[in-house]
Structure 1
Amino acid sequence: MRINVLTVLYNCTLSDSATLKSILQANLESTKLNMIIWNNGPTLLKEQDINNYLKSNQKNGITTSIYQDVRNISLSKIYNHFINKIDYDFFVIFDQDSNIDFSFFQNIYHNSQYAIICPAIFPKQKIDKQCFPSDFEQREQVVPLGEFSLSNTRTINSGTALSKDLIDKLLDNHHYVFDEKFAFYHTDHRLFDLIHATPQTAMLKGLCIGKMYHDMTCEVSYDVLSERARLEIAYAKMLMRMYRAHNPKIELRRNLFYAYKMKKKDNLSFRSFLKLLKCVITKKHPRSYASIDKDVKPTNSNIFS
């Protein structure tokens, strides 16, 4: 089985990524793992860090390509770029700070009949509290281990294995998988919006198996979040308000007023408020304008022709 794994780093070295370290410890029997690393900035990775990582992956039989772009590109654009590249049976997305089980890839290999395979997600901040997957509408109602329907379930991007069949159905119906109006937060919510809205995919089955520990912003007190993080959450909330299919709110005047209420509630600076207003007017995240060259090449690789 061929599994493509895309991990996006930001302000993190290869050697410090909890995700990359746990992948190296996982059981890869009967799987051909192709690792794609995208360094999203703000600085380039050091050569020694790159060389050590490529050697470790080569030793474990993992083909690896590293891309570097310090512009902090929209995640949805990165995901869409690589989801159309290279043959695979499953496509797995990771953030840099997930800890996977030893059996993570075996869980995919032995359950390849499912459209989505995902672990039960536990926040590193509260390791005894499962938070995903959950019911699509009732967010506090988590989905237990076992089979579930894609029609009423959602989970986070990190650690979720998407089958090629599911991806092909979404591409056939919509010509994209991730909504590029969104950049960082809620790209996963929008993916499941798309799945639910597509009859050919909503009827499919998923499987929740194993555990994964992940840093969750929702478990961090809002008061300690940086101004930048609060603004990113505000962008996502505003865009979800506009585009959730069951309750679209696209009236400019109402959304401008809502943005003003968010400024007060989320303690945004005037500068951040102006950026949020731009998001309201353009109806997309400011990072949506930066694009990826369709022929972009890896800066480093252990794949030899």
Structure 2
Amino acid sequence: MRINLLTVLYNSSLSDSITLKSLLDTKLDNIELNLIIWNNGPTLLEEKDINDYLIKSKDKGIVTSIYQDIRNLSLSKIYNNFIYKTNYDFFVIFDQDSKIDPSFFENIHGNSQYALICPAIYPQKNKGIHQFPSDYEQKEIITPLGEFTLGDIRTINSGTAISKNLVNTLISINNYVFDEKFAFYHTDHRFFDLIHDTPQSANLKGICIGQMQHDMTCELSLGELSERARLEIAYAKMLLRMFRKQNPKKQIRRNLFYAYKMKKKDNLNFISFLKLIKCVITKQHPRSGMSIEKNIRPTNTNF
């Protein structure tokens, strides 16, 4: 089985990434693993860090490619760039701070008949609380381990294995997999909205198996978040409001008023408020206009 795994780093070295470290301890029997590492900035990786990880991953039998573009590009654009181009049975996305269980790839190999495979997600701070996947409509209702219908759940991007069949279905119906109007927060919410609103994919089966610890932004209070993080969350909430089919709110006047309410509720400063207004007018995240070079090649590989 061929699995392509994409990990996006930001402000992290390879050696500091919980995801990349735990990946080296996983079981890879019957798995041809192609690891794609995208350094999204703000600085380039150090050569020693690169060489050390390429050697370790090669010893593990993992084909590794490292790409570096330190402009902090939209995650949706990065995901789509690799989900469209390469051959695989499953495409897996990981953030840099997920602890991968040793049996993660065994779980995919043993359940390859499913369109989507995801672990039960436990926050790093509250490890005893299973938080995702959850019910699509009522997020406080947690989906138990076992089989589910795709249109009934939502989960986070990190640790989600997407079958080539599901990718092809979404592209054939909607012409994309990840909505590039979204950049960082809620790219996963939008992905599952797309599945929910596409009967051909919503009726497919998935399975929740295994578990994963993940650093969750939702564990932080509003006061603990930086101005930048609060603005990014505001962008995401606004875009979801505008593009969810079951509750379309495309009128600019209403959305501008909602942006003003968000300024007060989310404690945004005036500059952030102006940026949110621009998002309302353009109907996309500010970084959605930045593109990836069509023929971009890895800066480093171990093959």
Please classify the TM superposition score into its range, dividing by the shorter chain length.
Answer: over 0.9
Which amino acid in structure 2 is aligned with residue 24 of structure 1?
L
Question: TM-score if structure 1 supplies the norm length?
Answer: 0.99
| 1:153 paired residue number | 153
Which amino acid in structure 1 is aligned with residue 45 of structure 2?
L
| 1:190 paired residue number | 190
SS in 1 for 2:7: strand
- 1:86 and 1:101 map into 2 onto residues whose CA distance is 25
Which amino acid in structure 1 is aligned with residue 203 of structure 2?
M
- 2:144 and 2:197 map into 1 onto residues whose CA distance is 23
| 1:171 paired residue number | 171
Per-residue deviation, 1:186: 0.5
1:110-146 deviation per Cα after TM superposition (whole angstroms, max 9, x unaligned)? 1000000000000002111111000001000010000
Which amino acid in structure 2 is aligned with residue 106 of structure 1?
E
**Count of matched residue pairs:** 303
| 1:262 paired residue number | 262
Which stretches of structure 1, 4 residues or more, deviate above 2 A after TM superposition? none
- 1:254 and 1:109 map into 2 onto residues whose CA distance is 48
Counterparts of 1:65-84 in structure 2, within 5 Å, are: 65-84=65-84
| 1:7 paired residue number | 7
| 1:217 paired residue number | 217
1:204-258 deviation per Cα after TM superposition (whole angstroms, max 9, x unaligned)? 0000000000011111111110000000000000000000110010110111111
- 2:151 and 2:182 map into 1 onto residues whose CA distance is 22
Per-residue deviation, 1:198: 1.2
Per-residue deviation, 1:86: 1.8
- 2:114 and 2:125 map into 1 onto residues whose CA distance is 30
| 1:116 paired residue number | 116
| 1:229 paired residue number | 229
| 1:140 paired residue number | 140
Is 1:38 the equivalent of 2:35? no
SS in 2 for 1:241: helix
- 2:293 and 2:174 map into 1 onto residues whose CA distance is 21
SS in 1 for 2:85: coil
SS in 1 for 2:167: helix
Is 1:278 the equivalent of 2:278? yes
SS in 2 for 1:76: helix
Question: TM-score if structure 2 supplies the norm length?
Answer: 0.99
Two-structure CA RMSD over aligned residues (Å): 0.5
Question: Structure 2: where are the runs of 5+ without partners?
Answer: none
| 1:85 paired residue number | 85
Per-residue deviation, 1:65: 0.4
Per-residue deviation, 1:294: 1.2
SS in 2 for 1:84: helix
Which amino acid in structure 2 is aligned with residue 232 of structure 1?
E
| 1:292 paired residue number | 292
| 1:180 paired residue number | 180
Per-residue deviation, 1:280: 0.5
| 2:94 paired residue number | 94
- 2:258 and 2:230 map into 1 onto residues whose CA distance is 15
1:14-47 deviation per Cα after TM superposition (whole angstroms, max 9, x unaligned)? 0000000111000001100000000000000000
- 1:86 and 1:269 map into 2 onto residues whose CA distance is 42
- 1:273 and 1:196 map into 2 onto residues whose CA distance is 31
Per-residue deviation, 1:100: 1.3
Which amino acid in structure 1 is aligned with residue 257 of structure 2?
F
SS in 2 for 1:38: strand
1:258-294 deviation per Cα after TM superposition (whole angstroms, max 9, x unaligned)? 1111111111110101100000000000010100011
- 2:62 and 2:85 map into 1 onto residues whose CA distance is 17
Per-residue deviation, 1:302: 0.9
